[in-house]
Chains A and B, each alone.
Chain A
Amino acid sequence: MPREGVLVHRIYERLDRDQVERIHSVSMEILRHPGIMCFNREAADIFASYGATVTAEPSARHWQVSIPEALVLQALKRAPQMVKLGARQEENSLILDGNEPRVYFASGSETNIWLDMRVETFVSKADHSVAVELATFHPRRGMLADLCAAARLGEHLDNLDGFIRPVNIQDEDITEENKDVNKFFACLNNMTKHVMAGLTSLDKLDKVIRMAEIIAGGKEELRRNPIISFITCVFKSPLQLVDDTTQKCIEIVRRGMPLVISASPQGGSTAPIKEDGMVAQINAEILGGIALSQLVSPGAPVIYGSVPTRAGLDDLADTYGVPEFNQYNVDCVQMARFYGLPCYSTAGVADVKVPGIQATVEKLFSHIVIALSGAQYIHYAFGLLDKTATFCPVQAVLDDAHIGMVKSLLRAPKVDEVEVVTSLEQIRQVMATSQKLFVRYIRPKLRSGEVTLPYPFEGDKARDEILLRAHEKMQELLQRPVEHIPPEVSERIFREVPGILPRLNTYREG
């Protein structure tokens, strides 16, 4: 049995059928003219061999590729509508079905800053007998040990369904050579949920896959239960197919591993700020990438990855807390559904640098809306602040609680013959009593999980103590044990996959 996530009963869509078709047509027009600027030779050759018009632009190091609609549609037919993301513990697997709005929440992405929280006591200048405990925040560079902690935390966050490394490992002894094997091992060894990541160096792909095979129990087992998957942002918006990530995409699909093919334009700087223009462009970009993947390897398990953001008005940096962000993302989910493809979407990033009211408003705004849209895999959902530059574990604990509330909100209503008869009966019975209270009927619903428990970080209600409570909860979760990779498997990985740092070995002597 895979994880449940939440199956959205009534999805929120913004576009009507005509508008969806109109955007689809414009995306097809974009792929035809201006087409895409392709910086990868192999991709240009593949497109050409399937009938695209490819013009070499020797001085500019790229090929201009005009892709006809028929080619895209033919390729899309080959893409699977359901993708399984496996897990070390198989009951943690996820089934992403393009035709079913079952929503999973995941972490991400590679932030450079890890934000520690401390609780400090401040004394009033006016009255020294008055002291309050407050949260203070302390940013520092993320390290390998932090990634291990984030994975352990993620294992115990009930609503975290999938894991994407939320922090970039910047230890002195981490190099481009050993980064991939260390980041994947750090995640896999500290959690039993699905692990997804981008690849730093293409030549480490086979080593990472080998690691996963050893854990899964062989090549075939990994195929059946893909405990890892990859992300490639193949496009540099607008419409430039990047050499490096495109090659990674080609090689990953050749090996049959699940892959998110994503694009991340900023409305206003690298795509139109207008909703229709943004969605038509990002849709063209993602479809261009998916088409390539299916030409390379028909039936390869790929996911429609939409990460549209809006440019900030004060610095042109990407912003996540604005309504347009939600509009763009909801529309992308709808486009993916139009093609029957599972969608990797985006929610839960705060623009502000520290946890607090602004962060909660910005995060919840998108957590609710994007979940309502029925996106199958919502990444960036835990702990991200400062427009994806910072990961804060206390914030991740808060987000987990809030996502739990969102999942409860979206549970399908139970309104059927049996339920209404029961309610009618309840009302009649209560009306016949002297107190006229329904309280006794709460308990069974509380026990069955249908009634939401009080907000877990509530203090004495006179003060806002949310951060202090969340901090305690984080410390408690980090104390809990996790199920590491068993000793013999771990030993084999260290033997067969070079480059993993000895300090990641749970079973090392001394």
Chain B
Amino acid sequence: MTNDIIERIKQNVIQGRMDKEDEGFNGGMVSQPGVKELVQQALDEGVDPRRIVVAGLTEAMKIVGDKFEAKEYFIPDMLASAETVGAAMDILAPYLAKSGVASKGKVLMATVKGDLHDIGKNIVTIILKGAGYEVKDLGADVGPEAIVASVREEKPDLLGLSALLTTTMVAMKETIDSLAQAGLRDRVKVIIGGAPTSVEFAAEIGADGYGADAFHAVRVVEELRQAS
């Protein structure tokens, strides 16, 4: 029985089916429970939340990753699956906390001041959520003051900054400097990304990491988490 529901969660993550309204990519699945309902059902049946995460969600995402590598899946598939994992994690969070499992970490994401480009930042947000992080998205064109205030209030483990213009890359440095001025710099790791930025630029402005794309960003975040 347990195996059966875990398997169904897995299959639905692979299909990227959020809930029962979702027809799935090959149609005809409307009204069958999706990831949200199945996760809740599993919890109600007393399945260990850790098992749901490890045997259900993580296993499923491994398969999704393999399919992506094999060019059987494309980024829209990957995002749909990652979104279902993010939603499942929202449901599981209080149960995991109760069983003494710490969250993987909290991440704040923002596109910096003067910059409206947010597609890349949104993708990184979804993929990070899908990897099990708790992510709060502050939006685009966010000034250093607002970012400092959110870091103070939310106490994230990590701050992600995105910029797509050579003219707004400087706002990343301003943000990092403002964190330092507010005495918050050593409380949060900072990772940056966006087409004009680079690993060298990250070092130059005192960021802790640089993500070339969303998947690389997840790896860098994992490394930073393990290092601390």
Contact = CB atoms under 8 A, between A and B. Distances in A.
Chain B CB count within 10 A is highest, among A266, A268, A312, A315, for A315
A266 B116 CA distance: 15
A179 B76 CA distance: 38
Contact of A312 (B75, B79, B167, B195): B75
A197 to B, nearest CB: 14
Nearest to A268: B76
A316 B166 contact: no
B91 interface: no
A64 B166 CA distance: 31
Nearest to B167: A176
A270 B119 contact: yes
Which interface class (under 10, 10 to 19, 20 to 34, 35 or more) fits A?
10 to 19
Given A112-B196, A268-B76, A315-B75, A200 B167 contact: yes
Nearest to B117: A236
Interface in A342-387: none
A313 B116 contact: no
B137 to A, nearest CB: 14
Contacts of A327: none
Interface string A289-319: 0000000000000000000000011111000
A312 B120 CA distance: 12
Nearest to B123: A316
B119 A269 contact: yes
Contacts of A266: 119
A88 to B, nearest CB: 28
A316 B195 contact: no
A236 B116 contact: yes
A242 interface: yes
B142 to A, nearest CB: 12
Interface in B165-214: 166-167, 195-196, 213
Given A112-B196, A168-B166, A389-B195, A313 B76 contact: yes
Interface residues of B, number: 12
A278 B79 CA distance: 21
Interface in A188-203: 200
A314 B123 CA distance: 12
A170 interface: yes
Interface in B111-150: 116, 119, 123
Contacts of A269: 119
Nearest to A245: B116
Q: Is chain A's binding surface mostly helix, strand, loop or mixed? A: loop
Contacts of B75: 312-316
Contacts of A112: 166, 195-196
B74 A314 contact: yes
B125 to A, nearest CB: 13
A57 to B, nearest CB: 14
B197 to A, nearest CB: 11
B76 A315 contact: no
Nearest to B71: A314
A170 B201 CA distance: 14
A316 B166 CA distance: 21
Interface string A1-42: 000000000000000000000000000000000000000000
Interface string A176-218: 1001000000000000000000001000000000000000000
Contacts of A200: 167
A336 to B, nearest CB: 25
Contact of B119 (A176, A313, A316, A389): A316
Contacts of A242: 116
Interface in A209-259: 236, 242
Nearest to A387: B195
A176 B169 CA distance: 12
A242 B140 CA distance: 12
A313 B116 CA distance: 22
Nearest to A60: B139
A168 B195 CA distance: 14
A179 B166 CA distance: 12
Nearest to B74: A313
Contacts of A315: 75, 213
Interface in B41-74: 74
Nearest to A240: B116
Contacts of A313: 74-76
B216 to A, nearest CB: 11
A268 B123 CA distance: 13
A345 B7 CA distance: 50
A492 B29 CA distance: 72
Nearest to B68: A314
Contacts of A176: 167
B172 to A, nearest CB: 15
Contacts of B119: 266, 269-270, 316
7 contacts: A170-B166, A269-B119, A314-B74, A314-B75, A315-B75, A316-B76, A316-B123
Interface of A: 112, 168, 170, 176, 179, 200, 236, 242, 266, 268-270, 312-316, 389
Interface of B: 74-76, 79, 116, 119, 123, 166-167, 195-196, 213
Q: Which 4 A-B pairs have the closest CB atoms?
A: A313-B74, A316-B75, A236-B116, A112-B196
Given A268-B76, A316-B76, 19 more contacts: A112-B166, A112-B195, A112-B196, A176-B167, A179-B167, A236-B116, A266-B119, A270-B119, A312-B75, A313-B74, A313-B76, A314-B74, A314-B75, A315-B75, A315-B213, A316-B75, A316-B79, A316-B119, A316-B123
